[in-house]
Amino acid sequence: MASLPPLLYLCVAAAHLAGARDSFSTEGPTGTAWGLHRQSPSTLTNGQPSPPLEDWEEASEWTSWFNVDHPGGDGDFESLAAIRFYYGPTRVCPQPLALEARTTDWALPATVGERVHSNPTRGFWCLNREQPRGRRCSNYHVRFRCPLEATWGAWGPWGPCSGSCGPGRRLRRRSCPAEDTCPGRPQEAQKCVRPRCPGCNPNTCGCPDHVLVGAVVTPSGRPLSGARVFLRGQPGTVATSDAHGTFRVPGVCAGSKVNVTAQVDGFSAGVAQAQSNSSISALVTVVLKKLEKPYLMKHPESRVREAGQNVTFCCKAAGIPTPKKYSWFHNGTLLDKRELRYGAQLELRGLHPDQAGTYHCKAWNDAGAVRSAAASLTVLAPGQPACDPQPLEHLIQLPDDCGQPDGSPAYLDVGRCPDVQCPGPMGSPRCTDSSNRCCSVWRLKSQTVRCPGYVLPVKVVAECSCQKCLPLRGLVRGRVVAADSGEPLRFAQILLGQDPIGFTSYQGDFTIDVPSSPERLVLTFLDPSGEFVDTVRVLPFDPRGAGVYHEIKAMRKQTPVILDANQSNRIPLGELRDEVPMGELVIPSGAFRLADGRPYVDAVEARVTFVDPRDLASASAAPSDLRFLDQDGELAPLRTYGMFSVDLRAAGSREQLQAWPVTVRVAADQIHMAGHVEALRLWSLDPSTGLWEEESGFQREVSPGPRVRREERVFLVGNVEIRERRLFNLDVPERRRCFVKVRVYGNDKFTPSEQVEGAVVTLVNLEPAPGFSVNPRAWGRFDSAVTGPNGACLPAFCDEDRPDAYTALITATLGGEELEPAPSRPRPLPAAVGVTQPYLDRLGYRRTDHEDPAFKRNGFRINMAKPRPGNPAEAKGPVYPWRSLRECQEAPVTASHFRFARVETDRYEYNVVPFREGAPASWTSDFLAWWPNPQEFRACFLKVRIQGPQEYMVRAHSAGGSHPRTQGQLYGLRDARSVRDPQQSGTSAACVEFKCSGMLFDQQQADRTLVTIMPQGSCRRTAINTLLRDYLARHPPSAPADDPAAFAMLAPLDPLGHNYGVYTVTDQSPRLAKEIAIGRCFDGSSDGFSREMKADAGTAVTFQCQEPPAGRPSLFQRLLESPSEVLGDIRREMSEVAQARAAGSVRSRRGRAQP
């Protein structure tokens, strides 16, 4: 039975495809195509280009390509429903305009002579039974044409107030240029009041013999007692709800349809209209929702304008009740609302230079306030260019054989354009700039770099200008696994806030398109088996569009215990070995309730799961990011003493139960920080916002006896109601706060131009044991941030007087790869760590292997010593005061900071057309671009197995193979050092990248890349994957001269998979595509992931390498130094071998011919 759940999960996934197949038929409004010209499947097809953007009547664009089905069985089915299931519901618009299908060889269906069907709203399908005799459907991928989102025009004036007297409403309208395509409503209503109506009517005078009967309840149906009831038009409270939530108001006319308002502390006011129940009575039910602090749905976005232009900043908040009050601030100063007449939108007309700066908004409701992120406004003076045509410096490292005479690497300035916006349009102000123009590459120029024995081509930026920005699609990708076993969380539902957006895969993988203008990405993963706690995470992302990879740890629920609802029950919080519990839950008799509030008296199945901060490993599985909204509406950090999840269900069923009142007892002797006993609070998590909200405080427990013995434990007592929310926290709002500056580099040279963007840096605050800071007593909070072009700033707790009051453990990863900080043995060096003295000594920098070299070198610990005012040595980082976030974010690279570097320094990449993977906007349209499509990145790797006594460097040379514009021209070089297989001696393997075959940037014709694989050293090819060799033979032309010391091929257009030794991953982020492909290549599978090399699994080609004789250079080195001479020697040796074989064959035939 242990294998049943995975089988069920596979059935769920199969049902989506099966359902998609069953839904297809040849009936209905579909398009059907017959091939007019037959062509051999082994022949390259130059498909017809897709209609360009300007050929469509309405503004639209193509999506990326999708492929969810492979031909087999009945045919190939690319269902729109299946695409939305596997790729996410937001990847294709609700109403596509058109569909285009091509084979994976980039041929149109008509070209290969196949009959297919398509419908933009249903998908594409090809049936084997409909094809000519002997043919089967090809493997197709599809894309959809989607309309660009239209935007509303400006609001019109308000209309007249309805009615002749008393309350009314007025309307205003706006128009959409494309009917029914703009999101939102075309009209907006507003309350208004005319002069009070004279005389008596049923609403004011009443009906003495009539009665209004009502109830006040929550959305789940739970009655609310003590609610104050009001009638419109009558002053004061007319009734109060009783213990059952009901009330009666005599004298209210049955047919009056009067509006009834109810209020109760902690809930938003509710309004409902009474309905007649009989001739003399009316009924009403008022539903009240619990107050929720506002949270931002849309933050203002930075803008660039010329003097005299207009600009609009937009802010949108949600909450209960919906926030109606907004305030705007310029450089921290409140703007005059009467003068600017702003609300959720701030419109500034006729800009002048002194209006430049930062702008943010604040929104209020009855529960509190929230502050938005700051947006910058740049106002250009007349004639001032937004984009300097002269490119900035951008250094790239040249191959090792092009290095300096002293052996150090050589660098070349290829230039880059500044990452700045250009001015928006002069037209009517709107929240989103329609132009979206950015400073980007206008012109490239070709250069050559002379290296020993060969010439390296390169294209450098010659001129920058304002052009249309590439659409930024923030991407978060990752994997959800069990914190205790590492098993994947399969087919877990993913919620964005409260909205379902997809599922994890069978391997636990997920991909999320980040919505526009968020500050926090809050995701919830719901385990379908019910064995794991709902996993709520606030994931950092790159707002500039680069992809970010996260590994999510899901916490397994505790083993259930059976409780008697008619007795008092105690459940411990924290059960670490050799440690006393942190506290306990006390649930009194009769506290359990059904969802509608009715008492529950049978057996209860309870699962209380506690995240114990005394266990340092538990930090990775803790929910949310430990933040709350303070009184000023700003995000503030919490210091936790434990979190717990409560799951209460009726025994023998899945019905969820509630419980109140519940007492939480916390042992005071487990809280060691000064002042924290008095400041401890109980919080609950709002899963839609990822923010913690206060439930209650704690009081010292009063002993019932006359005296308390000294050895008895003292407890703090708080109360909570377990209703809709099930995640709770024992936290203290800590006010000793700082920021820590961290940067990530491509290697341990820490060159400023080689900073890495998109790395996830994590800081865990630790509470050290007294006098022994390397052995922390507990962790207190954690935070993560994504590095940008200027590093990352992470919040942390700190102390000015006691440097070791708090310590911190800081780690960093890139696509799942652990990064390495600067060393600290035998003592940390300021030049390596990046921090000047004497501040470095005060911080106590220690890498994780400082005490024991056998430990992993994946992080470092520091004392969180807050910089002291007036001390210039501590004024420039790496630790900044809480109010100096901007100084931290804008600190120059010369200021103090902590450093990480990539461990895999034996991987090298060179592109003829430079591209910064962390900045998608740096992409340039060029035939030699490694990535031809800036919206979809396809990474290809070949697995090379090497039998030899050491690790070897392997180079992949990618050049144009079949396209007339690029044939023979270099795309780029990739070097990768082989990694030993821990299970086999004398065997290693390398996963080396090559440029994928496919369409070039103009999308007109495919190119099969000519790939040449060359290991370093004295190596000879001994084996080629049989399936790969057969595939290449069936898809000519074949590669040029077959060199026994190398492997060459015209790369396949199809994504072949691990059976061929080829690993292909398509993603919206180049870095994520490569990291996922490398993980699969190491594992030797098409859907697995490993950081441990499995050299015998899924290899494409095998080489036998040996140590060259002393003094003799390797073939790899000879190729670098004198390629023409070496290739001549190889041809001469091959000719001699061929002649010898031919002579031997003739002698053999003569021998057989003799009698």
Using an 8 Å Cβ cutoff, are 967 and 961 in contact?
yes
Dihedral-angle region of residue 1143 (phi above 0 means left; psi in -120 to 50 means alpha; beta otherwise): alpha
Q: What is the pLDDT of residues 755-783, one digit of tens each?
A: 888 888 999 988 876 544 445 678 888 88
pLDDT of residue 1117: 55
- DSSP characters for 973-999? EEEEE-EE-TTSTTEEEEEEEEPPPEE
Burial class (CB in 10 A: 0-12, 13-18, 19+), 783: buried
Compute the distance between CA of residue 71 and CA of residue 134 in angstroms, rounded to an integer: 15
> For residue 492, is pLDDT > 50?
yes
Q: What whole-number distance in Å separates Cα of residue 406 and Cα of residue 575?
A: 60
List of residues 6+ apart from 931 with CB closer than 8 A: 915, 923, 937, 938, 1070
Which of 144-148, 369-373, 411-415, 1132-1136 is predicted least confidently? Answer: 1132-1136
pLDDT tens digit sequence for 404-416 = 666 667 888 999 8
Angle, helix 80-87 to helix 4-23, in steps of 10 degrees: 150
Q: Which of 421-435, 452-466, 1023-1037, 1086-1100 has the lowest mean pLDDT?
A: 421-435
Confidence of residue 64 (pLDDT cuts 50, 70, 90): confident
* pLDDT above 60: residue 47: no
State the pLDDT at residue 531.
92
Q: Each residue of 966-987: pLDDT tens digit?
A: 999 999 999 999 999 888 888 9
Average pLDDT of the segment spanning 1076-1101: 87
Say what the pLDDT of residue 39 is. 31
Q: How far apart are CA 888 and CA 742, in angstroms?
A: 10
Percent of the chain surpassing pLDDT 70: 83
SS3 88: coil
**What one-character DSSP code corresponds to residue 40?**
-
Listed range (505-509, 546-550, 794-798, 984-988) with the worst mean pLDDT: 546-550
Cα–Cα distance, 105 to 46 (Å, whole number)? 9
Q: What are the Cα distances from residue 713, in Å, to 554, 584, 700?
A: 33, 13, 11
Model confidence at 587, pLDDT cuts 50, 70, 90, reads: very high
Q: Residue 52 — very low, low, confident or very high, per pLDDT cuts 50/70/90?
A: very low
Q: 211-217 and 281-287 as β-strands: parallel, antiparallel, unpaired?
A: parallel
**Which letter does DSSP use for residue 724 in this model?**
S
Pair type for strands 167-173 and 187-193? antiparallel
**Tens of pLDDT, residues 432-462:** 665 578 888 999 999 998 888 788 899 999 9
State the pLDDT at residue 894.
Answer: 92
Taking the C-alpha atoms of residue 1009 and residue 301, their distance in angstroms, rounded to an integer, is 42
pLDDT of 23 reads: 45
Cα separation, 791 vs 794, in Å, equals: 10
Helical (H) or strand (E) element with 1144: helix 1123-1153
Q: How far apart are CA 1039 and CA 537, in angstroms?
A: 49
Over residues 278-313, the pLDDT tens digits come to 778 899 999 999 888 898 888 898 888 989 888 999
pLDDT above 90: residue 227: yes
Residue 474 phi/psi, 5-degree rounding, is -60, 135
Mean pLDDT score, 615-642: 87
pLDDT reading at 1108 higher than 70: no
Q: Quick: pLDDT tens for 710-730.
A: 446 688 888 888 877 778 998
Write down the mean pLDDT value for the chain. 82
d(CA 993, CA 1016): 16
Identify which of 833, 814, 726 has the alpha carbon closest to the alpha carbon of residue 762: 814
- pLDDT number for residue 451: 83
Cα–Cα distance between 666 and 677 in angstroms, integer? 10
C-beta of residue 871 within 8 angstroms of C-beta of residue 803: no
Residues near 713 by Cβ (< 8 Å), separated by ≥ 6?
Answer: 580, 667, 668, 669
The DSSP string of 735-804 is: --EEEEEEEEESSTT--GGGB--S-EEEEEEEEEETTEEEEEEEEEEEEEEE-BTTBEEEEEE-BSS-TT
Q: What are the pLDDT digits (tens) for 33-45?
A: 433 333 333 333 3
Q: Which of 378, 376, 379, 386 is nearest to 302 (CA)?
A: 376
Per the listing, tokens 């509470």 go with 767
The pairing of beta strand 123-127 with beta strand 116-119? antiparallel
